[in-house]
Chain A
Amino acid sequence: MAFDSKDTAAFKDVWVFCEQRDGEIMSISHQLLSEGRKLADDLGANLCGVLLGSGLAEEDIKSLGGYGADKVYNIDHELLKVYTTDGYTKAICDIVEDKKPEIVLFGATTLGRDLAPRCAARLHTGLTADCTHLDVDVEKYKAFLKTTSTIDVDNTEFEENTNLKMTRPAFGGHLMATIICPRFRPQMSTVRPGVMQTQAFDEAQAAKVEIENYAVELTADDIHVDVQAVEKTAKKLVDLIGADVIVSVGRGISKDPEKGIAIAQELADALGGVVGSSRACVDAGYISQDHQVGQTGKTVHPKIYIALGISGAIQHKAGMQDSECIIAVNKNEDAPIFEVASYGIVGDLFSVGPMLTESVKAILANK
């Protein structure tokens, strides 16, 4: 039957595009499967992983079951070994048109953000970028709004349906918006790495996951680019997502960015942590992009998050507000960062920062 994205009733199941690079499945795939599992359970649908590559190990393919997949569509083709927009778009769109999933989730990686929009345009459906929360069940969505919004949920009308409700920071990060795609299928969204929590690996599920090897027709003529090299940077990137302690700097360091970053680094070193940053400092060129925390940077949940001179735009808060303990130091007592902080000090980071380092060192020396 011909594919018609408006025939919404013909679509079922929740799919996750499982990204691999160099044959290694990326952790974002596990995060999306864990989230997709909840959506599939609420819909009474299957959760399927879609894996594109060449010669992937069976153990790796099965591992997707351990993170929640009922089924894996394994699309093995020599031309899918290295990512190309053309090859991956054709493979994804062909299988989507054939199997008609209701929801497709992609990681908002530099490749996912290249692939997902191209697929959505070809499939004639909507796509919502960089979602921070997903719901299909209205009651669960209402419960989410009760804790995260100022909406008077009990006195607001909500249409009862199982449309995917995709929530993301909007308007440059000043508000949150929930987006729906009611008239077209599949409903597609991208999610940033680190936003969704990975469930515990379930070995029994991995053992019994169904694998369907799916053949796509793909020839070299379908691919209009030539990937001549893939190179990893020699520079060691900061591991924000794995860090227990993050000391982040914001616009407050502007009067002496080098000194501000040095102060943050010393405090991070004392606590065994790493240095993060707001978008403002990255945009101003004070610090490299891999340090950026927030909607367009990384989403983190460390044990301690120290915000030095960060005002706290929603865009930044979206990336760090689930940290266990948030400490904010800002000269402006009205800075929005204090709204999410556990502890606040109104003061200058250039004096408070070094004192914090000394104080931490003193405590650790006495342990």
Chain B
Amino acid sequence: MKAIVCVKQVPDTSGVVAVKADGTMDRAAMATITNHDDLAAVEAALELKDQTDCKVIVVSMGPPPAEGMLRELLAMGVDETYLVSAREFGGSDTYATSQIIAAAVNKIGVDADDVVFCGRQAIDGDTAQVGPQIAEKLGLPQVTYAAEITDNGDSLTIKRLLEDGHMMIKVNKPCLITCVKELNDPRYMHVARIQDCYEMPLTIFDYEALKNEPLIDPDTIGLLGSPTNVYKSFSPPPKGEAVMLEGSDRATVDKLTGILADKHLI
């Protein structure tokens, strides 16, 4: 049994955002972090390892600097890492991305008792589409929005969040689970592993490594092959119509509530 975790290094969108001429994000120009929901997925896999001694493998698609993130995950307790990285993969939308990651996971191999974990969604795109789409390409059943996971040996029982409650879902392995960050508190890196993580396994899957994989269709990967394209991107205009009230004392506040009362808003 093994757990395969799909992880994305994301731009820290609370910082400076840079955009390239083709309308996609200039990731190289921005500070990066490990996506929050994905860290919960890594922790879920490591908890499964604590219980069953299974192997934990992380797969990430991104530019070469994502290696640093993978080293950190190795230091947390992950056994092996794969970085899927090629110019041909750049600019992929969710359909193309899921196809490439599914091909990488398939190359690693999904056995009958394996579990694939993903984060629910990444903070840069917020689509929540890649997890379910990887599951579809791999032909695995999926459970999304996992907030509790119990291992029953040949199956998992998942508490799956809804807007106003939850579902309890039992799913047989192999399966794909997407995790929300409320699932757990990711552990810290082990001091000893921090020293050793640069010696631990990190394999690069480039275009050559994946181009002949059965799940790859060269016509639907990368910026040009992606089914969806950016038509226009734009900034909203400054409205500039706010009436800025002088001061911040009680008189100012009374003036504001007076206006609201005059307009019959209160």
Give chain A's interface residues, CB within 8 Å of chain B. Answer: 85-86, 89, 109-111, 113-114, 116-118, 120-122, 124-130, 145, 148-151, 163, 165, 170-184, 224-233, 237, 271, 283, 290, 295-296, 303-304, 314, 317, 324-325, 327-328, 333, 338-348, 351-352, 355-356, 358-360, 362-364
Return the contact of A126 from the options B23, B93, B235 (Cβ within 8 A).
Answer: B93
- Taking CB atoms, residues of chain B closer than 8 Å to A178 are 230-234
Distance between Cα atoms of A362 and B250 in the complex (Å): 12
Q: How many interface residues does chain B have, given as a range?
A: 35 or more
Q: Is the CB of A179 within 8 A of B162?
A: no
Q: Is the CB of B234 within 8 A of A171?
A: no
Contact A355 to B167, CB < 8 A, known contacts A117-B129, A126-B227, A317-B236: no
Q: Is the CB of B165 within 8 A of A113?
A: no
Distance between Cα atoms of A61 and B138 in the complex (Å): 35
Q: How far is the CB of B214 from chain A (nearest CB, A)?
A: 15
Q: How far is the CB of B235 from chain A (nearest CB, A)?
A: 5
Contact A174 to B253, CB < 8 A, known contacts A180-B228, A180-B231, A344-B242: no
B135 at interface by CB-CB < 8 Å? yes
Which chain B residues in 107-157 approach chain A with CB under 8 Å? Answer: 123-133, 135-137, 141-145, 157
The 3 lowest CB-CB distance pairs between A and B, nearest first, are: A172-B13, A347-B248, A126-B227
Q: Is the CB of B143 within 8 A of A225?
A: yes
Give chain B's interface residues, CB within 8 Å of chain A. Answer: 11, 13-14, 17, 19, 23, 25, 36, 93-95, 98, 123-133, 135-137, 141-145, 157, 161-172, 175, 220, 226-245, 247-250, 252-254, 256-261, 263, 265-266
Q: Is the CB of B142 within 8 A of A170?
A: no
Q: How far is the CB of B157 from chain A (nearest CB, A)?
A: 8
Q: Is the CB of A359 within 8 A of B257?
A: yes
- Taking CB atoms, residues of chain A closer than 8 Å to B131 are 117
Distance between Cα atoms of A150 and B130 in the complex (Å): 31
Minimal Cβ-Cβ distance residue in B for A364: B266
Q: Is the CB of B248 within 8 A of A171?
A: no
Distance between Cα atoms of A303 and B263 in the complex (Å): 11
- Taking CB atoms, residues of chain B closer than 8 Å to A184 are 227
Minimal Cβ-Cβ distance residue in B for A304: B265
Q: How far is the CB of A252 from chain B (nearest CB, A)?
A: 13
Q: Is the CB of B17 within 8 A of A172?
A: yes
Distance between Cα atoms of A125 and B257 in the complex (Å): 52
Minimal Cβ-Cβ distance residue in B for A5: B227
- Taking CB atoms, residues of chain A closer than 8 Å to B127 are 117, 129-130
- Taking CB atoms, residues of chain A closer than 8 Å to B98 are 121
Can you spell out 29 A-B residue pairs with CB atoms less than 8 angstroms apart?
A85-B132, A109-B163, A110-B144, A110-B162, A117-B136, A124-B220, A128-B228, A148-B236, A149-B235, A149-B236, A150-B236, A151-B234, A170-B125, A178-B232, A180-B229, A228-B170, A237-B164, A314-B236, A338-B244, A339-B242, A343-B242, A343-B256, A344-B244, A345-B245, A346-B244, A360-B266, A362-B254, A363-B257, A363-B258
Return the contact of B124 from the options A122, A172, A303 (Cβ within 8 A).
Answer: A172
Q: Is the CB of A356 within 8 A of B228?
A: no
Q: How far is the CB of B104 from chain A (nearest CB, A)?
A: 16
Minimal Cβ-Cβ distance residue in B for A85: B142
Q: Is the CB of B171 within 8 A of A343?
A: no
Q: Is the CB of B229 within 8 A of A228?
A: no
Q: How far is the CB of B247 from chain A (nearest CB, A)?
A: 8
Q: Is the CB of B237 within 8 A of A126?
A: no
Q: Is the CB of A125 within 8 A of B239?
A: no
- Taking CB atoms, residues of chain B closer than 8 Å to A363 are 257-258, 261, 266
Contact A114 to B144, CB < 8 A, known contacts A127-B95, A171-B19, A172-B123: yes
Minimal Cβ-Cβ distance residue in B for A337: B242
Return the contact of A175 from the options B36, B157, B233 (Cβ within 8 A).
Answer: B233
Q: Is the CB of A338 within 8 A of B233?
A: no
Q: Is the CB of B234 within 8 A of A149?
A: yes
Minimal Cβ-Cβ distance residue in B for A111: B162
Q: How far is the CB of B70 from chain A (nearest CB, A)?
A: 22
- Taking CB atoms, residues of chain B closer than 8 Å to A181 are 227-229
- Taking CB atoms, residues of chain B closer than 8 Å to A230 are 162, 165-167
Q: How far is the CB of A106 from chain B (nearest CB, A)?
A: 11
Q: How far is the CB of A294 from chain B (nearest CB, A)?
A: 10
Distance between Cα atoms of A8 and B266 in the complex (Å): 53
- Taking CB atoms, residues of chain B closer than 8 Å to A121 are 95, 98, 132-133, 136-137
Minimal Cβ-Cβ distance residue in B for A333: B244
Q: Is the CB of A129 within 8 A of B257?
A: no
Contact A117 to B248, CB < 8 A, known contacts A130-B126, A150-B235, A232-B165: no
Q: How far is the CB of B89 from chain A (nearest CB, A)?
A: 17
- Taking CB atoms, residues of chain B closer than 8 Å to A170 are 125, 230, 233
Q: Is the CB of B253 within 8 A of A345?
A: yes
Distance between Cα atoms of A355 and B248 in the complex (Å): 10
- Taking CB atoms, residues of chain A closer than 8 Å to B170 are 225-226, 228
Minimal Cβ-Cβ distance residue in B for A343: B243
- Taking CB atoms, residues of chain A closer than 8 Å to B157 are 228
Q: Is the CB of B169 within 8 A of A348?
A: no
Q: Is the CB of B266 within 8 A of A179?
A: no
- Taking CB atoms, residues of chain A closer than 8 Å to B248 are 345-348, 351-352
